[in-house]
Amino acid sequence: MTQWLGTLIEGVMLGGLYALFAAGLSLIFGIMRLVNLAHGDLIVLAAFVVLVVAATLGLDPFVAAVLAAPVLFAFGYALQHLLLNRTLGRDILPPLLVTFGLSIIVQNGLLEAFSADSQRLKAGAVETASLSLGGGLAVGVMPLLTLASAVAVILALNLLFYRTSLGRAFRATADDPEIAQLMGIDNRSIFALAMGVAMTVVAVAALYLGMRANFDPTIGPARLIYAFEAVIIGGLGSFWGTLAGGIVIGLAQTIGARIDPEWQILAGHVAFLVVLVIRPRGLFPRAVD
């Protein structure tokens, strides 16, 4: 019994990590319907940025991430403003192909700059510390922190979206970009801002990606798939839905791994497809499609 409980807890924690991967994507997909195939690679890129900041300035990864965040915000803003804004429109092929090209460039650029060696963000004792829950159950401090950060990020995004003027502008532009202009909203700036915010969230995701396990330039696409699965399961326009989606994937994976370690990833995909067949719009869709 405790073993299964342990598995469930592990699944929820993993879900927190996936929700972090997915949060930035949820924002972008929700506002712009942009399918950013480079999202996973951008998380890896952010992890390398944090690594470099930490190494050069001799800082703890958490502090390095705080310093890297504004840099990544600016990068996201520029990326959207200069490149991705040109791909938006009714056709999904341009953003698909452009972000795929971007994904290739980021991956191979990182390979050239850093080689294929595995890297790690060293956080010290926190990495292996664990908290006892009683009854023979323990949970790692790092996974707990990850989940807590995911919840905090989602709370912050909800606050931004539903309680601020900027958030209203995000939602209005997502509903109807043409009419939003009549409100005095400059779509291109709004999208660039949104991408900037998304990259800041990516910085947080990158921090936990790098501390949790080794990373290298090629692991981007797999994170992208988990992130998309979480966003789509959760439903368009709902950040709590994205958290739920992440947890569904996390639970599916850990339960699958428990049955047979080779089935871990497959179990996640199957769960995704099952949810999609039953509820094509996701579990908690909030925005209008």
Partner 1 sequence: MAGAQTPAAGYRAAIGTRATRRVALAGLALFAALLALPGIADRALVQDLIFVFYMLALAQCWNLLAGYAGLISVGQQAFVGLGGYMLFGLAVFAGIDPLLAIVLAGVIAAILALPTALVVFRLRGAYFAIGTWVVAEVYRLVFAQFKQLGGGTGTSLPPEITNTVFGIEFVKDLFGVRTAAARDIILYWAALLLAAGTILAVYLILRSRHGLALAAIRDSEPAAASAGVDNFRTKLWVYVATAAGTGMAGALIYLQKARISPDSAFAVLDWTAYVILIVVIGGIGTIEGPIVGVLVFWLLQTYLASYGTWYLILLGALAILIMLAAPKGLWGYVAERYGLVLFPVRRRLIGPGQR
Partner 2 sequence: MAYLETQALTAFYGDFQALYGIDTVLERGETLAIIGANGAGKSTFLKTIAGLLPSAPAAVRLDGQPIGGMPPAKIVRLGISLVPEGRKLFPSLTVEENLLIGAYGSASGAWNLDRVYALFPILAERRRAPSTSLSGGQQQMAAIGRALMANPRILLCDEISLGLAPIVIRSIYAAIPAIKEAGVGLVLVEQDIAQAMAVADRVYCFQEGRLSLSGRPAELTREQIHAAYFGA
Choose which of 79, 174, 204, 243 interacts with partner 2 (CB under 8 A).
174
Bridge partners (DSSP) of residue 139 are: 131
Q: 3-class SS at 244?
A: helix
What distance in Å separates the CA atoms of residue 241 and residue 237, rounded to the nearest whole number? 8
Using only C-alpha atoms, what is the Rg of the chain?
A: 19
Query: What is the smallest separation between the CB atom of 238 and partner 2, expressed in angstroms?
Result: 11
Task: Please identify, among the stretches 140-148, 171-179, 210-218, 262-270, the one whose residues bind partner 2 according to the rule CB under 8 A.
Answer: 171-179
Does 182 bind partner 2 (CB under 8 A)? Our answer is yes
Contact yes or no for 239/98 (Cβ under 8 A): no
Does 232 bind partner 1 (CB under 8 A)? Our answer is yes
What distance in Å separates the CA atoms of residue 232 and residue 92, rounded to the nearest whole number? 16
Does 273 bind partner 1 (CB under 8 A)? Our answer is yes
DSSP state of 90: S
Contact yes or no for 282/229 (Cβ under 8 A): no
Task: Please identify, among the stretches 1-9, 53-61, 183-191, 194-202, the one whose residues bind partner 2 according to the rule CB under 8 A.
Answer: 183-191
Q: How many residues bind partner 1 (CB under 8 A)?
A: 38
Q: Looking only at residues 27 through 46 of this chain, which bind partner 1 when binding is defined by CB under 8 A?
A: 29, 33, 35
Residue 189's CB: how many other CB atoms inside 10 A? 14
Give 121 or 180: the residue with its C-beta nearer to partner 2: 180
Polymer length of the chain: 289
Positions that interact with partner 1 (CB under 8 A) = 29, 33, 35, 83, 86-87, 92-94, 96-98, 100-105, 107-109, 111-112, 221, 225, 228-229, 232, 262, 265-266, 269-270, 272-273, 276-277, 280
